[in-house]
């Protein structure tokens, strides 16, 4: 019976990581209170990445040495942002991480994406390009497989919808121009921006990317829908077909 309880605790990510060496429970709580005070005092920007991650994990794992766990995660995935964006199936491979911790990390990722999207909604996206790129990077830059999205715009080039149309492999996503145009008609969109990511990090378009873009442009033009651009998002970089003279 004792072994069964230990296994359940391990699955929930509660007892995998030992308490901090040489720090009592009271001392650990004092450490966390000091970090809370820094955050509430507006000093969060001065905190190290592992400290922010430590506080985040403490919400899900109150009885775990989250400082050690935070440093382990950053060492495993390479950075704070990479930890937040890591796939759940890879996160749970880290000793001490269970569903509660993964859910907490994914909530933070979704919150970041919602904040970035809020900077785009209700504004003409063509006049707020930098904010649009920030949003697209938040959504796509760390995806492990290709994802094809369409931004549907109204007559004032404001965002009506941002929808994922397809997910593919590490280097290919099937796209069906007729489905893109059909959805634009359903939303009463008058313009489009195509977006997809290159998991390799290199945003250089492939021949398939070029051909698909022209196919969507022809299908949209036939119904008086404008294709403003096709953006490929890499890791920390992006490419605009319009700016490169490819559209």
- Do the beta carbons of residue 213 and residue 230 sit within 8 Å? yes
User: Which residues of 138-220 form beta strands (DSSP E)?
Assistant: 147-153, 159-167, 191-197
Supply 150's token pair: 């369409």
Instruction: Give the pLDDT of residue 171.
Output: 52
Contact 119, 129 (CB under 8 A): no
Predicted pLDDT at 8: 36
Task: Write out the two tokens for 38.
Answer: 């820094």
Would you say domain 125-240 falls under CATH 3.40.50.300?
A: no
Whole-angstrom distance, CA of residue 132 vs CA of residue 141: 13
Query: What pLDDT, on the 0 to 100 scale, is given for residue 27?
Result: 56
Measure Cα distances from 26 to 33, 34, 76 in Å: 10, 12, 29
Residue 183 CB-half CA count within 13 A: 18
Pairwise CA distance, residues 11 & 114, whole Å: 30
Residue count of the chain: 247
Rounded to an integer, what distance in angstroms lies between the CA atom of residue 14 and that of residue 97? 8
Domain ranges (residues) in the chain: 2-113, 125-240
Distance CA 24, CA 27 (A): 5
pLDDT tens digits for the chain (247 residues)?
444 444 433 443 433 444 444 444 545 667 778 878 888 888 778 888 888 889 889 888 888 888 899 999 999 998 888 888 888 899 999 999 999 999 999 898 888 878 877 777 767 787 888 888 888 888 888 888 889 999 999 999 999 999 988 776 555 567 789 999 999 999 999 999 999 999 988 999 999 999 999 999 999 999 999 999 999 999 888 999 999 999 9
- Write down the pLDDT at residue 173: 62
What are the helix (H) ranges across 165-206?
A: 177-187
What's the burial of 232, exposed, middle or buried (CB within 10 Å: 0-12/13-18/19+)?
Answer: buried
Q: What is the pTM of this model?
A: 0.66
Q: Check residue 3 and give its pLDDT.
A: 44
Query: For residue 26, with 0-12 CB atoms within 10 Å meaning exposed, 13-18 middle and 19 or more buried, which class applies?
Result: exposed
Give the contacts of 162 (CB within 8 A, at least 6 positions apart).
117, 149, 150, 151, 152
- Tell me the torsion sign for CA atoms 209, 157, 233, 56: negative
Q: Do 168 and 197 form a contact (C-beta atoms < 8 A)?
A: no
CA 61 and chain centroid, separation: 23
Measured over the CA atoms of residue 100, residue 102, residue 105 and residue 106, the dihedral's sign is negative
What is the Rg, in whole angstroms, of the alpha carbon atoms belonging to the chain?
Answer: 22
Q: Are the C-beta atoms of 85 and 74 separated by less than 8 Å?
A: no
Quote the pLDDT of residue 20: 42
Q: What is the pLDDT, as a whole number, of residue 169?
A: 53
Predicted pLDDT of residue 80: 86
């Amino acid at each position: 019976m004792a072994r069964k309880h230990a296994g359940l605790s391990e699955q929930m990510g509660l007892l995998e990581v030992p308490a901090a060496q040489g720090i009592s429970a009271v001392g650990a709580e004092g450490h966390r209170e000091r970090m809370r005070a820094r955050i509430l005092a507006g000093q969060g920007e001065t905190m190290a990445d592992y400290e922010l991650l430590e506080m985040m994990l403490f919400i899900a794992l109150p009885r775990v040495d989250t400082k050690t766990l935070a440093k382990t995660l950053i060492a495993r995935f390479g950075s704070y942002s990479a930890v937040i964006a890591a796939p759940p199936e890879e996160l749970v491979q880290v000793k001490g991480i269970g569903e509660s911790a993964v859910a907490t990390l994914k909530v933070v990722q979704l919150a970041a994406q919602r904040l970035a999207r809020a900077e785009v909604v209700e504004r003409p996206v063509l006049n707020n390009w930098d904010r649009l790129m920030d949003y697209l990077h938040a959504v796509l830059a760390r995806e492990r497989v290709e994802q094809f999205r369409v931004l549907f715009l109204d007559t004032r080039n404001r965002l009506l919808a941002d929808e994922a149309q397809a997910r593919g492999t590490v280097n290919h996503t099937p796209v069906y121009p007729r489905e893109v145009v059909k959805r634009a008609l359903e939303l009463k969109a008058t313009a489009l921006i195509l977006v997809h990511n290159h998991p390799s990090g290199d945003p250089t378009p492939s021949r398939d990317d070029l051909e698909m873009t022209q196919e969507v442009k022809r299908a949209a033009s036939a119904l008086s829908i404008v294709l403003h651009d096709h953006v490929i998002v890499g890791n920390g970089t992006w490419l605009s077909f319009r700016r490169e003279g490819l559209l």
